[in-house]
Chains A and B, each alone.
Chain A
Amino acid sequence: MSEPKKLKKLSKRTDAAIEALKTQRLRWVMGISQVGVKIDEDRYHAVVDNITKDEIERQMIIGAIKEKGPMTIKELSEATDIPPDQILRHIIALRKAGTVSEAGEKERGYLYTVL
């Protein structure tokens, strides 16, 4: 990519990040309340719901692996009743955080274990 193009892209991304920092969701995470801005109750509950649901599902995945040993995404989905695409999303997040990692393969899929 040429230099001016790269620069334009970076400028756009920075502008987006500035806008993102103004969103209620990120401001809650950072612990900033906006004076005079009334919190939209529905949106607040939706965000809190999402975060709690994610955390609960992730703990379910970790619990299942701890209980039964390394598992594939398909097995985890069966053990926890969480759809496989969601399991994959959580596994990616947990892998990033260094909580789970691959431990061999089984039936053309990776086995995941808790570190």
Chain B
Amino acid sequence: MEEAVMEKTEFEPTIIAFCCNWCAYAGADLAGTSRFEYPTNVRIIRVMCTGRIDPTIILSAFRSGADGVLIAGCHPGDCHYVKGNYAMERRFNFLKDILKHLGIEPERLILEWVSAAEGGKFAALIRNVTKQIKDLGPNPLKRQ
């Protein structure tokens, strides 16, 4: 009985997902209406464009204890604002470097392209990301 009580509860990560209004958010919507299942670890924040996400916000998410941050935007060439996703990609590489400098695993930050028609891809992406973050363990900043 004791063992059953003491059973180690599995680590459940908190993942912040920034989804662009025009593609990824619509993809998430489609995943919902199509009844695709995906883990509940993800907290979706809708932004108008991935290019509008300030890098400080992403670092602040980690600082506040997010185990992973997912940025999902339009496919290259499909940005509603023409080149917002390219701007994000540039910042993404920069942020990965900063995370490496800080000693936080850069794999915790994920950038993916999801179109409005890819509900299945969105669900699969969340499943993969959740597994990936679970394998990494909790964010070292979380315990504070």
Binding site secondary structure of chain B = helix
Contact at A18–B60, with CB atoms within 8 Å? yes
Which residues of chain B are near A15, meaning CB under 8 Å?
A: 63
Q: Does B8 contact A (CB under 8 A)?
A: no
Contact at A17–B59, with CB atoms within 8 Å? yes
Contact at A32–B54, with CB atoms within 8 Å? yes
**Among B55, B62, B94, B143, contact of A14 (Cβ-Cβ < 8 Å):** B62
Known: A7-B143, A21-B55, A30-B55. A14 touches B63 (CB 8 A): yes
Query: CA A49 – CA B103 in complex, angstroms?
Result: 31
Q: How many A-B residue pairs have CB under 8 A?
A: 51
Contact at A31–B87, with CB atoms within 8 Å? yes
Give the number of residues in B that approach A within 8 Å (Cβ atoms).
Answer: 20
Q: How large is the interface on A (under 10, 10 to 19, 20 to 34, 35 or more residues)?
A: 10 to 19
Contact at A18–B94, with CB atoms within 8 Å? no
Contact at A29–B98, with CB atoms within 8 Å? no
Query: CA A10 – CA B98 in complex, angstroms?
Result: 12
Contact at A21–B59, with CB atoms within 8 Å? yes
Q: Does A13 contact B (CB under 8 A)?
A: yes
Interface 1/0 per residue, A20-50 and B, CB below 8 Å: 1110000001111000000000000000000
Known: A14-B63, A30-B55, A32-B54. A7 touches B102 (CB 8 A): no
A contact set with B: CB distance below 8 Å:
3, 6-8, 10-11, 13-15, 17-18, 20-22, 29-32
B contact set with A: CB distance below 8 Å:
54-56, 59-60, 62-63, 87, 90-91, 94, 98, 101-104, 140-141, 143-144
